[in-house]
Chains A and B, each alone.
Chain A
């Protein structure tokens, strides 16, 4: 009798989770439920061996789930240039993405990003594993949904709700300042290969939330729109946001950041430096980047300059 009731509770939880995921991406939600129901391991107890194949899920898991329940993280999780929690990730087995490695870890839930190779996901599911596809956040609202999905599937709904509440609270505090009427300085987040994320991208929402008007929205096209150097020189933004110094990159694609015309621009205009790891992933930790940009905007409004910025420009 007790077994039956546990089953029903489990199914209810599944339905709930399914609905949550379904509202974001209908097909992945349905598939996730089906996979869970046919999965060999009962999902009633919180999973004890969690594996993530996605850098952004890694970050959420490290904040959400006790370390001993994380059986594996993506190989990028320990990379300081991409992972905010690279120190915390050390010592946890790294997975480069092959199904074999994942199976060796014998996980009871596997988190994959939307862009994880479909072949790997299919194979794991055919082998009866519980694979949860996590929708990647491209704005502040998406972050809540992402945490909700991960929290549900890892049996940490309560902690997840607390994380979301804290995130929303800090977000609201920032918005009180930035949504006041007044001039919105323009900004461009210039990256390697002249990419300046436009509307629809996470970076665009970070800039907008911090009270800036993303210039890339006017001059670039699409979420990974590029901005030409000529455009940047002709219509310079009030603030340039940079991830890393050009010397951090050993690639010819970073030549746009080394270009003398760009360097002149970045040294004569206010520039904010936020390491790539801090704004790469749409997780609650993004709020730190938003807060720094928002305070930079306030300083700019108050003094006309950014003073001695802000951030760790190496």
Chain B
């Protein structure tokens, strides 16, 4: 029964993937000669769809894991500054020229940035901390990484600093190629494996840290799985597409009423849900703004921010005496 729901979400993600292949900058279908159509399908749309799937999966899953691990409904890679840290790492790698040295350097730099941000966050706020502490720590990390990113872009005397800042803040799948898929996919997939392996521990954690330890959960190991998995998945994803916000927040919350509150149960559905959301947002983007002036993060924030507000209102109501 529950597997049926997983399958339904996987189906949705696959449908979104196919839709992403079918719809291009000039609407549905493939324009041009057979040769051009082949190039467009395999070199332009396929990498975009694969990355959309992977990035969405990484963000949705990381959101579900962070919410479970920190036992906090507001946890999300974007809001907590993890994506910002990854963007900072990627910007430094690109502008120092490190990214040009080896293909793996860019996702690795994103991973290091995301890893540092996640570690800082876990150290500052810790598991089971209040929403306020967590969000404060997240805001601090977010704005610090944003400021450093902008500083790095300015120090590099980059004539495109302002547009590039927008890219890193808002994310984009446009003009991504198979090169990006090859450099980011291994780290994202490895991160996803790490994150999925936390399911039972996260369920145990709902009983409290002591009870979880009695059930055989090693808190040190779990922390490394969460930090490492998030850094790998979100870091590599952000290094090639910029920070796409709100996906990790919205997806687990949408799925929770349907699938129940066990955090472990939410992981696989959040993975597919995240993939479907990013792919659909990207298809929507191509329909609204075919030439790509509008960034992907704008659309996910348009969906995510009102949702976040609603969440804040509901939390306030729940907390009210």
Contacts and interface: CB of A to CB of B under 8 A. Distances in A.
Given A227-B291, A231-B25, A234-B26, A250 B40 contact: no
A170 interface: no
Interface in B206-246: 242
Given A250-B95, A255-B176, A261-B39, A225 B291 contact: yes
Nearest to B42: A261
Interface string A260-292: 110010000000000000000000000000000
B175 A259 contact: yes
Contacts of A82: 159
B175 A250 contact: no
A220 B164 contact: no
A228 B32 contact: no
Contact of B39 (A194, A225, A233, A258): A233
Contact of B40 (A233, A251, A253, A260): A233
Contacts of B39: 233, 261, 264
Contacts of A226: 291-293
B104 interface: no
B291 A253 contact: no
B160 A260 contact: no
Contact of A229 (B37, B44, B242, B293): B44
Given A228-B25, A235-B32, A261 B43 contact: yes
- State the main secondary structure of chain A at its contact with B: helix
B160 A253 contact: yes
Contact of A230 (B44, B94, B159, B177): B44
A228 B26 contact: yes
A206 B122 CA distance: 56
Contacts of A139: none
B167 interface: yes
Instruction: Assign chain B's interface to a size class.
Output: 35 or more
A27 to B, nearest CB: 26
B11 interface: no
A235 B160 CA distance: 28
B24 interface: yes
Contacts of A252: 90, 94, 164, 167-168, 242
A176 B44 CA distance: 41
A53 interface: no
Given A194-B175, A253-B167, A261 B44 contact: yes
Contact of A261 (B164, B177, B290): B177
Contacts, number: 96
A43 B310 CA distance: 63
A228 B290 contact: yes
Contacts of A253: 160, 163-164, 167
A234 B175 contact: no
B111 to A, nearest CB: 16
Interface string A212-243: 00000000110001111111011110000000
A81 B156 CA distance: 14
B160 A228 contact: no
A123 to B, nearest CB: 23
Nearest to A225: B291
Contacts of A221: 291
Contact of B160 (A193, A234, A236): A193
Contacts of A236: 36
A261 B292 CA distance: 17
B264 to A, nearest CB: 36
Contacts of B94: 250-252
Given A193-B160, A226-B292, A228-B25, A255 B175 contact: yes
A230 B286 CA distance: 12
A256 interface: yes
A21 interface: no
Contact of B178 (A192, A255, A256, A260): A260
B292 A251 contact: no
Contacts of A192: 160
B174 interface: yes
A101 B304 CA distance: 45
Max chain B C-beta neighbours (<10 A), residue from A234, A252, A253: A252
Contacts of B174: 194, 228-229, 256
A165 B203 CA distance: 81
B103 interface: no
A220 B291 contact: yes
Contacts of B293: 226
Given A253-B167, A260-B178, A230 B291 contact: no
A202 to B, nearest CB: 16
Given A194-B175, A233-B32, A234-B26, A228 B163 contact: no
B143 interface: no
A250 B158 contact: yes
A189 B156 CA distance: 25
A249 B99 CA distance: 12
Most buried by B among A192, A193, A233: A233
Given A81-B159, A228-B291, A259-B43, 13 more contacts: A194-B292, A220-B291, A226-B293, A228-B24, A228-B25, A228-B174, A230-B24, A231-B26, A233-B36, A250-B94, A252-B167, A255-B176, A258-B177
The 5 A-B pairs of least Cβ separation, nearest first, read: A234-B32, A228-B25, A234-B31, A261-B43, A256-B175
18 contacts: A193-B163, A228-B174, A229-B174, A229-B175, A230-B40, A230-B45, A231-B25, A233-B32, A233-B36, A233-B44, A234-B26, A250-B156, A252-B167, A259-B177, A260-B43, A260-B177, A260-B178, A264-B39
